[in-house]
Structure 1
């Protein structure tokens, strides 16, 4: 095979033909050649690429050509000496440096076809370079071809296997360290990040920088392999997880005040010791909010794995600017009317994965009455599925807001649930202020995304939009009546203070009390070892169940009612509303002029039956009792108190000599 420039051009074109033929062929036989998996390097990507480049240069250098020149081939004719160092160097440069893996295989295959002399003479193969006839071993050494690769290609050629290109060429395979770093960042963002309600973005705490995140990754890295380098970590973050970001100061979403102050103190620290102290405080702060979020996830898992015993509910409100009516995906210049504001309160029941969205037109206060009304809606739905009763343990996850959730009225409602034996125990969890975005915010983000591509001009259309925005389909409804629990509890409420600091509350019956009363216990954080009892002159928040009937909140007049009516009329004149939609608006706005509340309720919790404790499923195992006894024996031996004794040892008396044996005289 000639190795001149013309010969290489010919062989390159023949390689292309072979590649085209192999790709267009219908044969299904694949050559098992050169299909080794890529090596795993412990170096960084830059160091690995530099090492490969240097190895390739060494294999096709003049030093390598000189070594080939002085190497004896197997035929004994000194074929390499006939070629000379210059020709060998040219062959190495063209084959090793300029051809990729598939081109090298195609070159060997085409060289075998040109050198095949089986049908012409007694020789099997006749290789040549620039007119010099050489043996196959010298030909391989001159091109830098490993003997094993040549034998494999020769075997494939003799068996007439189809040439199949390696489709992995050009693909980049992530290393284990790369994947470990990606998993770490995903897990960390899920535990300490906040999901935005209007997008799929996850915001890491404001007190962190990208350099801080990388330092946390290095601290948590415990594998034998070294951690990913800073530049590669940044590339991985930008390429694989672009939705995980650190919010800027100009963004609209509220930031954690503690995170902001910690970041400012770290940046402006003059001494290294002071900076390290603030970094340690930041780490403790992130650990606290991470633990609170993990506790919430634990409650979700328990409700899903054992729905007969646990029920987990989260309640939160959506941004009011996203759902104003009428809503159009395309704005026009003549849309000058005042839209009617609406507010969506969402709730998720994790035991049954039911989702609720209550819509009000902002004519009632967004306070604890609205929160309890939504919770009652969810509890009634869950009780209907269970024959009228609820699971004995209720977990509530609420926003850390005093006006809506963290107040005496919500606590009184939970106490009354326990007192009337609707549930056995209620636990309320509040995430840290500034870190309260959770899975329900993902539901809100889907509503916002659907509204960007769907019109919603009336409340029924908004309900349909919400229903089709998420899976499983939410139950969207209009909140027409809000129960006035604040007035119902007011006469029987005791004073409470200091409840704004703890993040966990528990409501349960006190078995030692002669009267059936529910008591409140609290923890500052979920990781605290013990529940603390309330202090003061009383241990109950409600003196007794209110005897007065429960009434409903009277809505106040709609804000900007006249401007809304003018906007609706103008939208109809511009054909932005159909006849049916305009009729709905006229009927709805007229119904707001007069409020007809439902009949008062004596006891709103009477609709629930008493909770039923689920029967514990006995383990169907004949060896259960034997295992229990064996475990008790091991624990008894492990917990056994040992006593170490010292006893005076008696001195040993001198041993007496045994009497000498008499020997007989012969």
Structure 2
């Protein structure tokens, strides 16, 4: 039972298989140690290591710790595993194991937050829209693709095909294919997003967008700037852009790609139309639409943005519109952090102005394609399989690619088109007007609520309310100031308790009081006392409730 619960919490489900893969920072012995620790907390006698391994081999062989993985590995996981294996000091080992447990718990919480967004979009599609986007490994989509390659065709030149996939949760799956006629940067990602939004029948007020951490395609000022523009143009009232922890990003979109890859490996795929058809048959949970992407827009030229720094560190950004009609950006290091942070700097907004001018399309570039070699080799494939239509399709497709390079592309009134779709949707779906308060953007009072604590106000001995990632599961977080340290740091003694229970200083058995060191910016209230019975005063409980409402 413990092992199954542990795998559900920390393992990644492998598509087309019943196997679960645990993070690479773990070993079987370390998993057994974690089980023993949990058993001791419950005063249960844990099984021996040998007996645990026997049960694992006989009853839990679907749970694996892979030596190699096709997905990128987490740097933190690898470093922790190596350092734990290298040390012989008990205290150092315990500290590293504690760091590992915090790391695994955090990645699980990030994943659960993503699942929560999916659930909200599925259960309340009139208010929420959840989209995840990612690109597939191009080595698995090159065509022609043959199940069994004859020796005479072993060295044919195959056309590299890119697949950008997207799952719109509760609505459908989309696949956009191209032959690398465009650079796959921010403009490409945003063009795919625009195509998806244009195909939807309805645009609700809240968008949850889940992306990979790649800075060139996703985590950059152009993607964030366009999201701000969607909010400022009233396409959405609120947008959250989220990024899973690096090395722990294997999600439903990767399961889609895996199913597609497995199905494609069992079929002869001679032309791009075959590849798209195979993609449309690989997934049964939702309707699947595959298409050749026809237009990519020049967002990098179109968007007028201020510079932005350090945006690679947060894992979630939130955009809402303030009372001045401007899109504001807030961020968190982790989606489970309780407090949104307002960006600082000389420029207040990422978006310089709300320009509704048409956006130019990027001309496709096929200079990297060897048309002569492709025609020769695909003709060779057609003759071998005695299929004239293969040669005919390739000749027509390559001619289209050559002609595309010379096309004169008119600009697109992108924002106007999305506004019209939004207005049509509001007319068709009256319930969208009846939003509950919890669904509306965070009030402007949150912005005004952000204050800077003056150094002299905090004194040694003060009780404080904190919002620190050191113990995110403990809420509210109460502590007493033990010492004021240099560089805006404080030494605190945490208190144990809940909103409705008594509070006592935190002590470890036989080791004395627990202390933590934090920055002053995690203190959001201070200078109060517990009641005579050790409870939080009524006004502090109300303050905690208001803080939760505004920041969670």
Matches within 5 A, 1:222-237: 226-227=45-46, 229-237=48-56
- Alpha-carbon separation, structure 1, partners of 2:4 and 2:253: 23
Matches within 5 A, 1:446-465: 446-465=259-278
- Alpha-carbon separation, structure 2, partners of 1:467 and 1:360: 16
- In the alignment, what sits opposite 1:499? 311
- Alpha-carbon separation, structure 2, partners of 1:183 and 1:421: 45
Match of 2:188 among 345, 367, 370: 370
The CA deviation string for residues 102-134 of structure 1, in whole angstroms up to 9 with x for no partner, is: xxxxxxxxxxxxxxxxxxxxxxxxxxxxxxxxx
Instruction: Please tell me whether the aligned partners of residues 197 and 444 of structure 1 are also in contact (alpha carbons under 8 angstroms).
Output: no
What's the offset of the Cα at 1:244?
3.5
- Alpha-carbon separation, structure 2, partners of 1:501 and 1:441: 23
Instruction: Please tell me whether the aligned partners of residues 7 and 20 of structure 2 are also in contact (alpha carbons under 8 angstroms).
Output: no
Matches within 5 A, 1:593-604: 593-595=402-404, 596=407, 598-604=409-415
Q: Please tell me whether Structure 1 or Structure 2 has the larger radius of gyration of its CA atoms.
A: 1
What's the offset of the Cα at 1:566?
2.3
What's the offset of the Cα at 1:269?
1.0
- In the alignment, what sits opposite 2:280? 467
What's the offset of the Cα at 1:330?
1.1
- Alpha-carbon separation, structure 2, partners of 1:241 and 1:488: 54
Describe the shift of the 1:325–1:224 C-alpha distance in structure 2 as closer, same or farther (beyond 3 A): same
- In the alignment, what sits opposite 1:624? none
Instruction: Please tell me whether the aligned partners of residues 144 and 270 of structure 2 are also in contact (alpha carbons under 8 angstroms).
Output: yes
Matches within 5 A, 1:229-268: 229-248=48-67, 251-268=69-86
Describe the shift of the 1:480–1:603 C-alpha distance in structure 2 as closer, same or farther (beyond 3 A): closer
The CA deviation string for residues 135-179 of structure 1, in whole angstroms up to 9 with x for no partner, is: xxxxxxxxxxxxxxxxxxxxxxxxxxxxxxxxxxxxxxxxxxxxx
- In the alignment, what sits opposite 1:300? 118
Instruction: Give secondary structure in 1 for the equivalent of 2:93.
Output: helix
Describe the shift of the 1:617–1:436 C-alpha distance in structure 2 as closer, same or farther (beyond 3 A): closer
- Alpha-carbon separation, structure 2, partners of 1:358 and 1:240: 42
- In the alignment, what sits opposite 2:340? 531
- Alpha-carbon separation, structure 1, partners of 2:62 and 2:175: 26
Describe the shift of the 1:230–1:561 C-alpha distance in structure 2 as closer, same or farther (beyond 3 A): farther
What's the offset of the Cα at 1:201?
5.1
- Alpha-carbon separation, structure 1, partners of 2:4 and 2:114: 21
Count matched residues. Answer: 427
- In the alignment, what sits opposite 2:177? 359
- In the alignment, what sits opposite 2:296? 482
Instruction: Give secondary structure in 1 for the equivalent of 2:174.
Output: strand
- In the alignment, what sits opposite 1:579? 388
- In the alignment, what sits opposite 2:101? 283
Match of 2:257 among 411, 424, 444: 444
User: What's the Cα RMSD here?
Assistant: 2.4
What's the offset of the Cα at 1:245?
2.4
The CA deviation string for residues 220-249 of structure 1, in whole angstroms up to 9 with x for no partner, is: 45768655554454344445554542232x
What's the offset of the Cα at 1:279?
1.2
Instruction: Please tell me whether the aligned partners of residues 182 and 240 of structure 1 are also in contact (alpha carbons under 8 angstroms).
Output: no
What's the offset of the Cα at 1:275?
1.3
- In the alignment, what sits opposite 2:378? 568
- Alpha-carbon separation, structure 2, partners of 1:195 and 1:393: 29
- The answer for unaligned runs of 5 or more in structure 2 is 427-431, 438-535, 540-552
- In the alignment, what sits opposite 1:274? 92
What's the offset of the Cα at 1:544?
1.1
- Alpha-carbon separation, structure 2, partners of 1:247 and 1:410: 34
Describe the shift of the 1:457–1:370 C-alpha distance in structure 2 as closer, same or farther (beyond 3 A): same
Instruction: Please tell me whether the aligned partners of residues 356 and 415 of structure 2 are also in contact (alpha carbons under 8 angstroms).
Output: no
The CA deviation string for residues 310-330 of structure 1, in whole angstroms up to 9 with x for no partner, is: 111100111111111011111
Instruction: Please tell me whether the aligned partners of residues 176 and 290 of structure 2 are also in contact (alpha carbons under 8 angstroms).
Output: yes
Instruction: Give secondary structure in 2 for the equivalent of 1:594.
Output: helix
What's the offset of the Cα at 1:346?
0.8
Describe the shift of the 1:183–1:507 C-alpha distance in structure 2 as closer, same or farther (beyond 3 A): same
- In the alignment, what sits opposite 1:510? 322
Match of 1:205 among 13, 23, 28: 23
What's the offset of the Cα at 1:291?
1.1
TM-score of the superposed pair, with normalisation by structure 2: 0.72
Match of 1:551 among 344, 360, 366: 360
Instruction: Please tell me whether the aligned partners of residues 136 and 163 of structure 2 are also in contact (alpha carbons under 8 angstroms).
Output: yes
What's the offset of the Cα at 1:507?
0.4
Q: Which has the higher strand share?
A: 2
TM-score of the superposed pair, with normalisation by structure 1: 0.61
